[in-house]
């Protein structure tokens, strides 16, 4: 180990040093969860909030979310307060963090499996009585067990989905989860808009195709989209394909559809929020998508789903789709979606359509 790593390790030990606070978790009244990252991560974490609230209804549950994922918590009956955090703008978060410190939280829960300096800084400012974290291997030669600021760690689990790893943060409360289902709560108005759009296709099998994920390179290209749509229709004429889109991509998607010239393919209505998307997906029959948050939205409603994933089995294990009916087609590339089999997508989709019809 080099000198730089030794110095960083010493600073990490020093900065995470903490005197133990005499506090029993059974006396917990206020908890703050740190979940200021992506939409998919928030969706996968929602069972934690529900299972805790149902076991301890008097505990006030707060979440430090991001601008990107906070809308997933709208209308969630298990959340009492949501605060917004900016992961890469630490200075701009000072005001929020010091206000959180004034809340005197009994407990904070941090879901990062790595030692993350910005999370440690935030926890130091918030200063809860106790901190729970998922198992950490450590960093800079410092073991996770040497970081004194963390009072409880989940077990070191192998071959587990993040859903179950994050649910394990409830173990110090002796909670045995009754369900690991995801929670998304869209409004009656959002439901009505989705139903009014999809009712025109009620005699068809409604297939939603999402073209891209949040990470660059995770996308279904025009050539593959054309092939997917064409081959599906050749095998089953009773389908309606709906391309999911956002306001800033609507014109681009419409141009692609116009170029394909297939009357069984349309773009979705403009979905202005992630809950608009959720309401639409809940009214479709089958979803085809790259690995992204759409996978977990579909899983929340147990929709049949065919996903396209980069050739990374570790990442897949952690974020795998959890719908009852799901299949994944892997690309040849480890860092993108190059070289996946369109024929496998067609095969799996047709298998699910047959089950839907039954």
What is the DSSP annotation of 250-261? HHHHHHHHHHHT
CATH of the domain at 143: 3.40.50.2000
Dihedral sign of CA atoms 166, 168, 170, 176 in order: positive
Mean predicted confidence (pLDDT) in 199-217: 88
Q: What is the pLDDT of residue 357?
A: 65
Q: What is the pLDDT of residue 352?
A: 97
Is 230 in the same domain as 311? yes
Measured CA to CA, the distance from residue 133 to residue 196 in angstroms comes to 44
Is 133 in the same domain as 194? no
Is 135 in the same domain as 211? no
Count of domains for the chain: 2
Q: Which residues pair with 219 in a beta bridge?
A: 212
Compute, in degrees rounded to 10, the torsion defined by CA atoms 208, 209, 215, 218.
150
181, 51 Cβ separation under 8 angstroms: no
Measured CA to CA, the distance from residue 131 to residue 124 in angstroms comes to 10
Q: What is the pLDDT of residue 92?
A: 79
Q: What is the pLDDT of residue 295?
A: 96
- pLDDT of 203 > 60? The answer is yes
- pLDDT of 358 > 60? The answer is no
Count of other CB atoms within 10 angstroms of residue 4: 9
**Which CA distances in Å does 205 have to 140, 191, 202, 222, 285?**
53, 19, 8, 22, 6
Any idea which residue has 């949501």 for tokens? Answer: 82
Q: Domain for residue 179, yes or no?
A: no
Is 121 in the same domain as 72? yes
Is 79 in the same domain as 227? no
Q: What is the pLDDT of residue 7?
A: 66
Q: Are strands 60-66 and 130-133 parallel, antiparallel or unpaired?
A: unpaired
Residues with Cβ within 8 Å of 192's Cβ and at least 6 positions away in sequence, in order, are none
- pLDDT of 14 > 80? The answer is no
Task: Among 63-67, 94-98, 216-220, 344-348, name the one with the lowest average pLDDT.
Answer: 216-220
Confidence category of residue 257, pLDDT binned at 50, 70, 90? very high
Segment (H or E) for 243: strand 239-243
Measured CA to CA, the distance from residue 290 to residue 210 in angstroms comes to 7
Q: Which residues pair with 32 in a beta bridge?
A: 62, 108
Task: Among 108-117, 150-159, 326-335, 341-350, name the one with the lowest average pLDDT.
Answer: 150-159
Q: What is the pLDDT of residue 298?
A: 98
- 141-160 per-position pLDDT tens digit: 788 777 888 999 998 777 89
Hey, is 343 helix, strand or coil?
helix
Is 58 in the same domain as 163? yes
Task: Among 76-85, 160-169, 330-339, 341-350, name the one with the lowest average pLDDT.
Answer: 330-339
Mean predicted confidence (pLDDT) in 33-61: 97
Mean predicted confidence (pLDDT) in 260-274: 94
Is 168 in the same domain as 192? no
Measure the CA angle with vertex 325, ends 320 and 331; round to 5°.
45
Q: Domain for residue 105, yes or no?
A: yes
Task: Among 5-14, 160-169, 285-294, 336-345, name the one with the lowest average pLDDT.
Answer: 5-14
Measured CA to CA, the distance from residue 278 to residue 273 in angstroms comes to 9
Is 11 in the same domain as 127? yes
245: tokens are 């889109």
Q: What is the pLDDT of residue 327?
A: 97
221 is in which domain, residue-wise? 188-357
Q: What is the pLDDT of residue 104?
A: 96
Is 106 in the same domain as 195? no
Is 26 in the same domain as 157? yes
Residues with Cβ within 8 Å of 319's Cβ and at least 6 positions away in sequence, in order, are 40, 44, 161, 162, 291, 295, 296
Whats the size of the chain, residue-wise? 358
């Amino acid at each position: 180990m080099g000198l730089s790593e030794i110095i960083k390790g010493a600073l990490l030990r020093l900065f995470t040093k903490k005197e133990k606070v005499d506090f029993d978790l059974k006396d917990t009244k206020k908890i703050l969860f740190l979940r200021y990252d992506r939409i998919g991560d928030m969706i996968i974490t929602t069972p934690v909030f529900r299972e805790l609230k149902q076991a301890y209804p008097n505990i006030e549950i707060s979440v430090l979310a991001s601008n990107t994922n906070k809308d997933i918590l709208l209308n969630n009956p298990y959340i009492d307060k949501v605060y917004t955090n900016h992961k890469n703008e630490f200075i701009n978060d000072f005001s929020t963090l010091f206000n959180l410190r004034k809340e005197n939280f009994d407990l904070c829960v941090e879901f990062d499996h790595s030692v993350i300096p910005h999370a440690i800084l935030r926890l130091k400012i918030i200063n809860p009585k106790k901190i729970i974290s998922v198992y950490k291997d450590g960093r800079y030669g410092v073991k996770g067990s040497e970081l004194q600021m963390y009072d409880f760690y989940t077990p070191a689990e192998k071959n587990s989905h993040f859903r179950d790893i994050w649910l394990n943060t409830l173990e110090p409360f002796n909670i045995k989860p009754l369900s690991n289902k995801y929670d998304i709560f869209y409004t009656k108005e959002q439901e009505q808009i989705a139903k009014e759009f999809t009712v025109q296709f009620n005699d068809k099998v409604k297939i939603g195709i999402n073209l891209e994920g949040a990470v660059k390179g995770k996308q279904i290209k025009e050539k593959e989209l054309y092939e997917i749509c064409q081959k599906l229709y050749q095998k089953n004429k009773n389908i309606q394909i709906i391309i999911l889109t956002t306001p800033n991509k609507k014109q681009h998607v419409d141009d692609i559809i116009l170029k394909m010239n297939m009357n069984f393919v349309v773009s979705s209505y403009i979905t202005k929020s992630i809950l608009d998307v959720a309401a639409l997906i809940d009214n479709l029959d089958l979803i085809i998508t790259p690995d992204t948050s759409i996978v977990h939205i579909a899983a929340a409603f147990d929709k049949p789903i065919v996903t396209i994933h980069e050739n990374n089995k570790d990442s897949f294990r952690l974020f795998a789709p959890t719908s009852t009916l799901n299949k994944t087609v892997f690309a040849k590339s480890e860092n993108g979606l190059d070289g996946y089999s369109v024929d496998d997508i067609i095969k799996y989709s047709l298998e699910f359509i047959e089950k839907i019809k039954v």
